[in-house]
Amino acid sequence: MSMLEVHDVHTYYGNIHALKGISLTVKQGEIVTLIGANGAGKTTILRTISGLLQPRQGWVTFNGENLNQYKAHHLVAKGMAMVPEGRGVFSRLTVEENLQMGAFHRKDKPAIAEDLEHMYTLFPRLRERRNQVAGTLSGGEQQMLATARALMSRPNLLLMDEPSMGLAPILVETIFDTIMEINKQGTTILLVEQNAHMALQVAHRGYVLQTGQIVLENTAANLQADATVQKAYLGIE
């Protein structure tokens, strides 16, 4: 059984039919990426999975449980966390206060302290900035913080929405190295990413979206070798 299953999901913004029968799966231990142009529906899929949007048709299951009945805040306790597009850090709180907010639903204080130290090991820059107000961090540092904050909830599944957006190339490499490390440590990842080249390098499998529909799915290696994907998303003629 897959950890995450999305079956024939139709999601709307008012009268706009944004997702038109989306079906996908994510198995435990995988990195699965969604690639496609702006407006293809990638973020809408994550918002539907995470409970921020409710599908009008179809269903989403997580570890075998139907999620359609739950709101977004219920899913954190069930083992799902999201790193939103644009980072969404609490700009007036310090780095450490942001990380503590990621564990708001947990009561295991000794384990929270251990996880806090683990985040500082995974992201050494955050240790240096632990008492700094988050709104004064650079874009790359805020992305690290948003990722670490999500990991503080100890998710089984991490949803990541455009983690490389707006970052310098050297920081993009750092973020994707971290994504692979997080996965190696046992967290399953569903990754939405505009940078298809980097996404397919770290992912196990991928789905290609166009105007709210999945038009192609395959292993990441096969998608990298696909002529259509190369031309449309990898800049290879």
Locate the DSSP E strands across 89-176: 157-161
CA dihedral angle for residue 98, residue 170, residue 207, residue 16, rounded to 10 degrees: 60
Taking only the tens place, the pLDDT of each residue in 130-178 is: 999 999 999 889 999 999 999 999 999 999 999 988 888 888 888 899 9
- Indicate if the pLDDT at residue 86 is higher than 80: no
Q: Can you give the pLDDT at residue 194?
A: 87
**pLDDT cut 70: percent of the chain above it:** 99
Q: What is the mean pLDDT of the chain?
A: 94
Among 235, 232, 237, which Cα is nearest to 36's? 232
Among 115, 112, 119, residue whose Cα is nearest residue 141: 119
Which homologous superfamily does the CATH classification assign to the domain defined by 1-79+158-163+190-237?
Answer: P-loop containing nucleotide triphosphate hydrolases (3.40.50.300)
Closest by Cα among 164, 193, 212 to 34: 193
Interval 8-49: pLDDT, tens: 999 999 999 999 999 999 999 999 999 999 889 999 999 999
Note the pLDDT of residue 165. 86
Which sequence spans correspond to the domains of the chain? 1-79+158-163+190-237
pLDDT of residue 142: 93
DSSP 8-class letter at 54? -
Instruction: Read off the pLDDT of residues 89-123 as tens digits, 9 standing for 90 and up.
Output: 999 999 999 999 999 988 899 999 999 999 999 99
Q: Is the pLDDT of residue 128 over 90?
A: yes
Using a 10 angstrom Cβ sphere, with 0-12 exposed, 13-18 middle and 19 or more buried, the burial of residue 184 is: exposed
Is the confidence at residue 1, as pLDDT, over 80?
A: no
Mean pLDDT value of segment 173-194: 94
